[in-house]
Structures are given as C-alpha cells and as structure tokens.
A and B are shown apart, each in its own frame.
Chain A
C-alpha cells in the first residue's frame, strides 16, 4: 500500500474513533479540546513546517484530510481563520520569535485568531482603511473601527491592518500588526447577520497600545502582508472540503428529493445532475491544483477560481433545493427542522459571494492577474491617502 493510502486508512480510523457528535451550537471548550486532540494525533497543520508544530507534509495529505473529514461535522470553525489565513501569513512573514510564540498555540487551538481588515468605509478597497496606528516611544497606539470581524467574539489575537502613514498613497502607508484582543481599549460587539446569528462583530479600537514587536513584516509594507494573507484566504475558502454533512451538497439535496419522492421528476433530476457536475468539477479542480502544488507549481491567483466556483455552486444548490422544497420553504411548521435547514441555506448563501473578496473582485483578479487584461484607470494611484474620498463619505 502506498504512503498515501496508509495515511488515509489511519486517518479514517482515527476520525471514526475521535470525531465528536455534532452539536447545534459551538461549545468553545469542547472545540478547543478537540483541536488539541487533532494536534496530538498529528492532524493539525498537516502542511505546516515542523519547527512550529506542523507535520511538514505535502498538500496531497491535506487533501486527504479534507476528503475524509468531510464525512464529519468537526467543531473546528473557531480555528478556521487562524489556520487558513493568520497562521500561514505569520509563517511566511513573521519573525522567528513571532512564529514560535504564536504558531504552536494556534495549531493546538489554545489561542484563537481573527482578521481585522474591513472597516465601514473599506471592504473591497481595504487599502483605503482609516484605522490609525501612531508610533510612540515603545510601540504604537491604535484608534479606529473594524467591522464584520468573524470570530472576534472568541479571539485571543487578531491580525490588524492599520494606517501608519496617511501622507503616502493608500497602499504604501499601511502596516500589519498582531493585536491582543484582550488589550485595554478593544471592544467587541456582536453583529447579527442576515440569518439572525452573530458570527461576526464590530470591533472598536480606542487608544489600544501595541508593543513595537507586534509589527508583522515591515512598517508601511502592510499591503504586501495583506496580499499574502488574502492569497491564503482564497485558497483556504476555495479548497475548503465540501462537507458531506452539508444539507446543500449533492448528497444532501439528493436525499431530500428522495425523501420527498421528487427524484423522478425530470426537472429535479436535471437540477441534481447539474449540482453534481458543478460540485464534482470543483473537487477535481482542487485535487488538480493540489497535485500541481506538490509538483512545484503553486496555485497563485487561481485560488480565485476555486472561490468563485464555490459561490456559483452554492447558488445553484439554492436553486435546486428551492425547486425541491417548493412552498414549504416559504412557510413551515415550527418543528420542521428540514425546512429550518433549507431556510438557513437560502439565507446564508449570499455570504460566500461577499466574504473574502466579492465575486466581482475575484473576477477582476482572474482577468488582470491571470489573463493579463488591462486594469481600469485609477483615480487614486499616487495620491496621498489624506486627499482621497473613501467609503460612503460625500
């Protein structure tokens, strides 16, 4: 048997023995305990370097993990941002001290991370953010407001993007920092999303003091760090294993059609065939990109392809599910949990085309970075940030 198939067998047995039963809401302590257990078994940070507690394996092993774990609903969502974005960025750009201080605890689930980029005035155009970090004798003082900050309610640390020089053009006056989310002056307020839940937050930063060694990368070179992080984000989102426990994936939707005895209907069969097609080609794309990465060709901007295709897949699933559910998705008895799940799926799907860079932004990246199409004329290039209009200001 090859190494890969042994690895898969062992992982499968481990998951069978250790995966906890799913719970309707996340219990943070249980999630942390499970993450520690994953770490001890060698399944946290599969592709991360060994010196920070990772396994130093190739992406094909990560792919196996995504495939095998998709049969379970593992309570790992509080760690997603750290594992997918903050951690890989610190690994790429952090000092030796930052890497050893933060990465092992992140992998073990002892410390939770969030990403503080977006602001009310700066989302797609995150480089126009206004949060200020001003240098002091021994570090920095930060003032500003962040928004849509996922997992800030749990987080111990965040990667913060702030403006350190407003006299420079917008991209060249930013710096990325590690911020202690428990520091004085940090206020986290839950923000309800359109499903009624509050997975993200507003974060108010009021004279928050950061030490000098909180800088990730170089001062005023934060845009480079942000690009590194957003690259990791797209890959993390695009290659997120398609959970087989997701009621909106092909198997879930097929089961629903079968339960409702609608799987003989030609239109629904066609919808299911399309859903399978789009889900499977995206899986195959991720597998191929993983194989290319192992062979030495990194995904580069193609992370945007996976992210965009994932959004389009989710939208198609909504169409097919709605067709199957019919009027029952518009009004249902309070104890109808299937209809609850359908409604949650319908209502949560718009997030995938916005979070992590909107569809329009991904298409722009593909067009410009992969196809080499000309950029649009920009009105802000070279202009000191101070003189620009941002967000919804008039």
Chain B
C-alpha cells in the first residue's frame, strides 16, 4: 500500500493549483456560478487542453494521459479546494468511468477523446429518487427503429449542459446502459443547495437510445459508484483543507476581548478537531485512490469508507468554518457559505448519510443473513 504522493503528483498539483489560483479565485468562482452556463468554459478547456487533467484515468490510446486514480484525486482535491464550478465530476469522473467500465469500444473511441479535450461534456443519468445509482424505474424497449428509453432521472450532475447522456434503465433482460443525445431529452435545471455545481432532471419520453455493450451492467454501475466516491472524497478533502486554512488564518487575526480568537480554547480545540478530521481523511483518500489503481478487490470497502468519513467530516468542518467567522461568516459576501453548501450537497449527492453507512455495512457483510 502506498499512501504518499511522489514528485510527479506534486508537480501535477502545483500546475492545477497555479491555474486555479489564476482562474478560479473567489471573484471568478462567483462570476462563473452566476453565469448562464454556471461554469467557466475557458477554464474547463484549459484543464483539458493545457494540463491534460480531464483524461488522467483514460488510456493513452483513447486520448488520455494513461495515469490513474491517484493523479485524478489530486486534481479533484484542487478543484474542491477552489470550489471551481466545472463539469469535472460529471464528465471526467462519472461518464469517463462509465465508458471505461463498459465494454463498448465504439462508444469509447467516439466519446472519450472529445471528453478528454473538454470539447464534449457527457453526463451520467442513473440516479432516481430513492435509488442514487439507479437503475430505478426507467425502462428501455427495443423496437423496429432501435432502443427507446422512458423515465425521469434526477439529480443528473451537469445534466443542464451535457452534450450527451449515459443512461441506466431497465431493459427486458435487466439493467442496461444507453447513450442518448441531449436533443432527445427534456431537461430542467434544478434549484440547488450548492450554487457552484449545477444539477438537472432529465426526462426521457421514448427517447431514441443506443444500447452500450457491457458484460455485466450491474457490476459496471458498482464500479462507477465506487470510483465516484473516491473522486468526490478527494474533492471534499480539498475543500476541508481550504476551510481549515482560511478559518485558522482568521482565528489568528480576529481579536476580541483583547486576544486573538484562536487563543480561546473553544476555537482552538475546534480547529484541532478539524485538523484531525483532515489528517485522517487525507490518509483514507490516499488509500482509496491507491486501491482504485492497484487493489481492485479492496475498492468496494475503501470507497464506502471514504464516503463515510469525508462526507460528515467536510460538513462538520464547513459548519465550524461559518461558526468561527461569526457574523461575517453568515454573509453572502464571505465564501464560508459556499463551502458549507458544497459540503452538505456532496454529503447527500450520491446517497444520504444513512444510505452510505448501510452501503458500508453491506460491504463489510454486516448482518448479511438478516438482509437475506
């Protein structure tokens, strides 16, 4: 097991951080989140074209960098740290992992090179209320003209701006994967808790679809879910670190009763707890990313583990971040609320806290008899 980064990883981090410092400071993040598209397309293209950061897990023959999940988690950490609005989670994580987990070479060759460059954005439409990873109630039917899909998928990350969708629906032979063009669906941009990440609902009414080949569609779905948990945990880790840094800095300069507030134990000890959460989270994220690359057998538990630690830890930290900033932390002007909202939204996005615990319990085979 390797839990340390090497010099190349650090160089990647530095390159991404430089770009984000320049292109995703608070003012730019706010401008992007309020813009019609909800993200900074120019930054997105730079991530793909200049830094090769969108295809880290994609093999070189499909236009990617042929690196791995450790590298991708470094990028996710930096994006989470900056809160940079982008379809990274949708296109460079969910849809990329799905295409790689399926066995459809044609779709891979057609889509992945364009996704890696940032030119095409693909979203995963699997979730439905009560089924964060589908297949839910959506159905797929094969007719004379090919497959059509019916159903409503929500939330779909970056569903408002995707050029294409990968849809999970129930075919007569079980859950199956489909490719659907944006023009064939109806989408509604959701009102979101987190203004820095757009979500949509996607309605399919006899939407024409291409069925994607997969030896085991359900296993592919599990793998996508696990890899997404790892990337999301890295994003949460980066956000938690930023909250820790900014709140610690503030606690050193804000003076009340003649002393810096960071000299008061209530504040100091709270920040110490946040630091512990971050240190433990860092160890867990490094492990899960390593497992994703090197120890696939360990991935299912590792993925549920990081979700279970980082989700609550990030929200605890972000809430403490607002608290220790006092009144200013509760203002719209201050960024503390953006982290708070990102933290809560990521904690819930792929399954509630209770759902995450149950998933980990399943994977640890706790009470399997009772579950049947």
Contact = CB atoms under 8 A, between A and B. Distances in A.
Given A264-B371, A273-B366, A372-B252, A367 B360 contact: no
Contacts of B276: 305, 308-309, 366
Contacts of B369: 263-264
B281 interface: yes
Contacts of A309: 276, 280
Contacts of B263: 373-377
Contacts of A295: 4
A272 B357 CA distance: 9
Interface in B271-298: 271-273, 275-276, 279-284, 286-287
A273 B308 contact: yes
Contacts of A274: 308, 357
A329 to B, nearest CB: 20
Interface string B349-372: 000001001101100101101110
Nearest to B284: A281
A282 B305 CA distance: 12
Contacts of B361: 269-270, 272-273
A309 B305 CA distance: 16
Contact of B4 (A281, A288, A362, A376): A288
Given A274-B308, A281-B281, A368-B268, A288 B364 contact: no
A376 B265 contact: yes
Contact of A288 (B260, B269, B283): B283
A374 B262 contact: yes
Contact of B252 (A258, A273, A282, A374): A374
Interface in B227-273: 244, 248, 251-252, 259-260, 262-265, 267-269, 271-273
Nearest to B276: A305
A292 B358 contact: no
A275 to B, nearest CB: 10
Contacts of B280: 281-282, 284-285, 305, 309
B3 interface: yes
A296 to B, nearest CB: 11
Contacts of A19: none
A302 B309 CA distance: 19
A98 B104 CA distance: 70
A110 B282 CA distance: 41
A269 B275 contact: no
B3 A288 contact: yes
A111 to B, nearest CB: 36
A91 interface: no
Given A276-B305, A295-B4, A305-B275, A372 B269 contact: no
B260 A374 contact: yes
Interface in A315-365: 360, 362-364
B106 interface: no
Interface residues of A, number: 45
Given A263-B366, A264-B367, A368-B268, A287 B1 contact: yes
B2 interface: yes
A141 to B, nearest CB: 40
A367 B366 contact: no
Contact of A277 (B4, B282, B308): B308
Interface in A281-301: 281-282, 284-285, 287-288, 291-292, 295
B301 to A, nearest CB: 8
Nearest to A269: B361
Contact of A291 (B2, B244, B267, B271): B2
A384 B276 CA distance: 36
Contacts, number: 141
A254 interface: yes
A270 B284 contact: no
A54 to B, nearest CB: 25
Given A284-B283, A305-B275, A372-B252, A364 B358 contact: no
A362 B357 CA distance: 29
A287 B279 CA distance: 12
From B2, B252, B272, B305, name the one whose CB has the most chain A CB atoms within 10 angstroms.
Answer: B272
A380 interface: no
B272 A371 contact: yes
Contacts of B268: 363-364, 367-368, 371, 373
Interface string A236-276: 00000000000000000010011000011110111011101
B279 A373 contact: no
B259 to A, nearest CB: 7
A281 B305 contact: yes
A370 B275 CA distance: 9
Given A284-B284, A305-B276, A309-B280, A277 B305 contact: yes
B275 A292 contact: no
A60 B236 CA distance: 29
B260 to A, nearest CB: 5
B10 to A, nearest CB: 13
A270 B283 contact: no
Contacts of B308: 273-274, 277
Contact of A363 (B264, B272, B360): B272
B316 to A, nearest CB: 13
Contacts of A265: 367, 370
Given A288-B286, A373-B252, A276 B364 contact: yes
A290 to B, nearest CB: 9
B366 A257 contact: yes
A371 B276 CA distance: 11
A280 interface: yes
Contacts of B354: 266, 270
Contact of A377 (B248, B259, B273): B259
Q: Which 10 A-B pairs have the closest CB atoms?
A: A264-B370, A263-B367, A367-B268, A366-B272, A373-B262, A363-B272, A284-B283, A363-B269, A264-B367, A269-B361
Interface of A: 254, 257-258, 263-266, 268-270, 272-274, 276-278, 280-282, 284-285, 287-288, 291-292, 295, 302, 305, 308-309, 360, 362-364, 366-368, 370-377
10 contacts: A263-B366, A263-B370, A270-B354, A287-B283, A288-B286, A308-B276, A363-B268, A363-B269, A364-B269, A376-B264
Given A257-B367, A302-B279, 18 more contacts: A257-B366, A273-B358, A273-B366, A274-B308, A276-B364, A277-B360, A282-B280, A284-B3, A285-B279, A285-B280, A288-B3, A291-B2, A364-B265, A364-B268, A367-B269, A367-B271, A371-B268, A373-B251
